[in-house]
Amino acid sequence: MFVKAIFFLTLAASAVLAAPGPRSLPSGTVTCGSDKYSVSAITAAINAGVKDQKSGNLPDDYPHQYYDESSEDITLYCSGSGPWYEFPIMPDGSIYTSTSSNYVSPGTDRVIFTSSGTYCAVVTHTGAASYDGFVACKGD
């Protein structure tokens, strides 16, 4: 009886202390405003952001740190407490790049990820309460 009680207490404690694992990529299309993104487009944007971050190539200062604002009501299911990074995801399927001599707007939509490339969310400025605020995209 005593051994059984210890086992159940240990099991309960480990369940409470277990940290959530990395978030899975969406199972289907994600919609930000009128733009739709496939899982492969999301993955490509994350990979480009991680590559640019590691190489120091920061077109128009992307990727840069994303700050989780509670007023935006976006849930990030990333492990740990950050830092998280944002990188534009482009509606035409291209990978975002911009230079001072050839400026390209980053648009309204972003992928959020960890420095190791773990997916966190897809967010958009479209429909946000403030100019530089975000809302979660549908299907994320």
User: Which residue in 125, 136, 137, 140 is the catalytic one?
Assistant: 125
pTM above threshold 0.85: no
E strand or H helix at 53? helix 39-55
Can 18 be counted among the known catalytic residues?
no
pLDDT, mean of residues 37-48: 96
Question: Smallest Cα–Cα separation from 61: which of 114, 106, 101?
Answer: 106
Q: Which of 35, 86, 109, 140 is catalytic?
A: 86
Q: Is residue 125 flagged as an active site residue?
A: yes
What element of type H or E holds 112?
A: strand 109-114
Task: Give yes or no for residue 8 having a pLDDT over 70.
Answer: no
DSSP character for 94? P
- The pLDDT of 15-35, averaged and rounded, is 71
Q: Is the pLDDT of residue 65 over 60?
A: yes
Q: Which of 22, 39, 60, 64 is catalytic?
A: 64
Determine how many CB atoms are found less than 10 A away from the CB of residue 113. Answer: 27
Which residue shows structure tokens 């200062």? 61
Distance CA(105)–CA(76), nearest Å, equals 25
For residues 104 and 26, give the distance between their C-alpha atoms in angstroms, rounded to a whole number: 27
> What are the structural domains of the chain?
30-136 (3.10.450.30)
Digit-coded pLDDT (tens) for 84-129? 999 999 999 899 998 878 888 999 999 999 999 999 999 999 999 8
Active site residue 61: no
